[in-house]
C-alpha cells in the first residue's frame, strides 16, 4: 500500500485494493492488439506496422482495413472494401432537416456531435451487437458517411448548397470535393493536396487509449448503440487538450502574428513559462510521447510539400511557426519537461493551406479517428473479458450527517 494505493477495506469494509490514479497516468483499462506506442522512443505502430511505413506506402482506406481487420488488404480485397465504403457515402435525406435545426453559427463540432448521435435514429440495422453483420454495417456506415456529414456541416455554416458524394473519386478526393466544390463550376482534384489530407487521416486514425477512444469504450461498454458511442467520442475530442489542439494552435499563431509576429515570440514564451498566466504552448507536449511525436515528423514533411505545391513557402504564419518551434526546442523549460511539437502543431498549418477553415479542423480529426474508435469498440465488444466500465472513486466529501 503506497501513498496512492488505498486499502479499500478501510474505506468500504470490502476486501481488495484499488489505485487512485487521476488521469489514468499508470492504469491500463483494457487489453488491445490494435495500436502500440513507445512514448520514449517516439514509436507508433498500427497492428505492428510503423506509422512511417503506412504513411508512405498505404492510403487511408487501406489503413482503415488494417485497423479493423488486423491485416493489410490484398489489391482485390482493397478494391471491394473501397467499393463497399463508397457505396454507403450518401446520408438519409431526412438528416438535412435535422441539420437545418441548428443555428448556422454553431460550432461545427457541436453540430457533428448531434449528427453522429442522430445516425442512431436513422439507421436501424438491428440492436443485437453480438451479430457480427449488424456491427459491420454500422461500422461501414460510420466510415462512409462521416466525410458527408462533416462536409454538410461546413456547407451549412457558410450558407452554400450541399454537394452530394461522387463515388468514383477516392475517399479523400470525394471529401475535398464535397467540402470545396460549388454547383457552378467543375471541381479539379489536385493529387498532391489529396495525398496530404489522406496522410492527415492516416496519422490521426488511431492512437490507443486516448481520451476520446476511452470515452467510446466506456460509453460502448454499457452496450449502447455504436452511433451513440461514437458521438460520445466526437464530444470528447472537441476539447482543446485533445482534438481541439490544432484549432487552438492555429489561433495561438494568428494571435502572435497579429500582435507583432516573430519579434513577439520571446514575450509569448515568457508568458507560457509563467504558470500563473495559464497560457500553454499549444501543439507542444503529449501525455505519452516524451520524445518527438513520430506523426509530427511526417506532418512537418507534408507541410513543406503542401506549401510548395501552393506557392506558399513564404507564408508568414508558417515562418512564425518554424521560428517558434526552433526557439522552444532549444529552451530549457521545454527541454527539461520533454515537451516536443505534437502532430497538431503542423496539421493546422496544412489544413489552413488546403483551405479548411480553422473551426473545421477538429471535425477533420473526428472523421479520421472514427475508424480507430470503431476498431476499439469492436475489440471491446468481442473480448471474452468484456465488462461494463465502472471506475471507483476516492470519496472525500461528508460522511453521514442529518438535516435536523
Q: Find the binder of ligand ACO among 62, 344, 359, 379 (CB under 6 A).
A: 344
220 is an interface residue for ligand ACO by CB under 6 A: no
CB of 232 to ligand ACO, least distance (A): 16
Cell numbers placing 334: 521545454
CB of 250 to ligand ACO, least distance (A): 11
Q: Cell 458524394 sits at which residue?
A: 165
| One-character DSSP codes across 135-157 | HHHHHHHHHHHHHHHHHHHHHHH
Rounded Cα distance between 305 and 176, Å, is: 18
Is position 344 annotated as part of the catalytic site?
A: yes
- Taking residues 97 to 116 in sequence order and writing x for each that binds ligand ACO by CB under 6 A, - otherwise, the string is --------------------
Is position 286 annotated as part of the catalytic site?
A: yes
Instruction: Pick the stretch among 112-120, 160-168, 237-245, 382-390 that binds ligand ACO (CB under 6 A).
Output: 237-245
Given the residues 88, 107, 204, 286, the one annotated as active site = 286
Instruction: Pick the stretch among 224-232, 341-349, 368-376, 389-397 that binds ligand ACO (CB under 6 A).
Output: 341-349
Rounded Cα distance between 377 and 230, Å, is: 9
Residue number, nearest CB to ligand ACO:
285
How many helices (H) and strands (E) in the chain? 18, 5
343 is an interface residue for ligand ACO by CB under 6 A: yes
Contact assessment for residue 118 and residue 95, using Cβ atoms and an 8 Å cutoff: yes
Cell numbers placing 272: 507560457
Instruction: Pick the stretch among 153-161, 217-225, 280-288, 309-317 that binds ligand ACO (CB under 6 A).
Output: 280-288
Helices (H), 160-283: 171-180, 191-204, 211-220, 226-237, 245-258, 265-273
Rounded Cα distance between 139 and 394, Å, is: 37
φ/ψ of residue 393, rounded to 5: -135, 160
Rounded Cα distance between 201 and 161, Å, is: 25
CB of 141 to ligand ACO, least distance (A): 25
335 is an interface residue for ligand ACO by CB under 6 A: no
Rounded Cα distance between 19 and 393, Å, is: 9
CB of 32 to ligand ACO, least distance (A): 18
Residue 341, SS3 per DSSP: strand
Instruction: Pick the stretch among 71-79, 220-228, 240-248, 319-327 that binds ligand ACO (CB under 6 A).
Output: 240-248
Contacts with ligand ACO by CB under 6 A: the residue count is 18
Given the residues 59, 198, 293, 344, the one annotated as active site = 344
Rounded Cα distance between 33 and 28, Å, is: 13
Pick between residue 132 and residue 241 the one whose CB is nearest to ligand ACO: 241
285 is an interface residue for ligand ACO by CB under 6 A: yes
Catalogue the active-site residues: 286, 344
- Chain residues in the site for ligand ACO (CB under 6 A): 241-243, 245, 272, 280-287, 337, 339, 342-344
Amino acid at each position: 500500500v503506497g501513498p496512492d494505493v488505498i486499502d479499500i477495506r478501510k474505506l468500504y469494509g470490502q476486501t481488495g485494493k484499488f489505485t487512485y490514479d487521476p488521469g489514468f497516468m499508470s492504469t491500463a483499462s483494457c487489453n488491445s492488439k490494435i495500436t502500440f506506442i513507445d512514448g520514449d522512443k517516439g514509436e507508433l505502430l498500427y497492428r505492428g506496422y510503423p506509422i512511417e511505413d503506412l504513411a508512405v506506402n498505404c492510403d487511408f482506406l487501406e489503413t482503415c482495413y488494417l485497423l479493423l481487420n488486423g491485416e493489410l488488404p490484398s489489391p482485390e480485397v482493397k478494391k471491394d472494401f473501397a467499393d463497399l465504403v463508397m457505396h454507403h457515402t450518401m446520408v438519409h435525406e431526412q438528416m438535412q432537416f435535422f441539420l437545418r435545426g441548428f443555428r448556422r453559427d454553431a460550432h461545427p463540432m457541436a453540430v457533428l456531435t448531434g449528427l453522429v448521435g442522430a445516425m442512431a435514429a436513422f439507421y436501424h440495422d438491428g440492436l443485437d451487437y453480438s451479430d457480427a453483420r449488424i456491427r459491420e454495417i454500422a461500422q461501414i456506415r460510420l466510415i462512409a458517411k462521416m466525410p458527408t456529414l462533416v462536409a454538410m456541416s461546413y456547407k451549412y455554416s457558410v450558407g452554400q448548397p450541399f454537394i452530394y458524394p461522387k463515388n468514383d473519386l477516392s475517399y479523400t478526393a470525394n471529401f475535398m470535393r464535397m467540402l470545396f466544390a460549388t454547383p457552378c463550376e467543375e471541381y479539379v482534384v489536385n493529387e498532391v493536396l489529396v495525398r496530404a489530407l489522406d496522410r492527415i487521416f492516416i496519422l490521426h486514425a488511431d492512437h490507443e487509449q486516448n481520451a476520446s477512444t476511452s470515452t467510446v469504450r466506456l460509453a460502448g461498454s454499457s452496450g449502447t448503440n455504436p452511433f451513440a458511442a461514437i458521438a460520445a467520442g466526437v464530444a470528447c475530442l472537441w476539447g482543446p487538450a485533445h482534438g481541439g489542439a490544432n484549432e487552438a494552435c492555429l489561433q495561438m499563431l494568428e494571435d502572435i502574428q497579429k500582435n507583432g509576429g516573430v519579434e513577439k515570440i520571446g514575450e509569448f514564451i515568457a508568458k507560457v513559462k509563467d504558470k500563473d498566466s495559464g497560457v500553454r504552448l499549444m501543439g507542444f507536449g503529449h501525455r505519452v510521447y516524451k520524445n518527438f511525436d513520430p506523426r509530427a515528423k511526417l506532418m512537418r514533411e507534408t507541410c513543406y510539400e503542401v506549401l510548395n505545391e501552393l506557392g506558399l513557402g513564404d507564408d508568414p504564419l508558417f515562418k512564425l511557426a518554424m521560428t517558434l518551434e526552433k526557439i522552444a526546442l532549444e529552451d530549457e523549460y521545454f527541454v527539461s519537461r520533454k515537451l516536443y511539437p505534437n502532430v497538431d502543431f503542423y496539421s493546422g498549418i496544412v489544413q489552413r493551406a488546403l483551405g479548411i477553415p480553422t473551426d473545421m479542423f477538429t471535425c477533420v480529426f473526428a472523421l479520421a479517428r472514427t475508424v480507430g474508435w470503431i476498431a476499439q469498440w469492436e475489440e471491446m465488444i468481442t473480448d471474452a473479458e468484456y465488462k461494463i466500465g465502472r471506475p471507483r472513486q476516492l470519496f472525500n466529501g461528508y460522511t453521514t450527517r442529518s438535516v435536523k
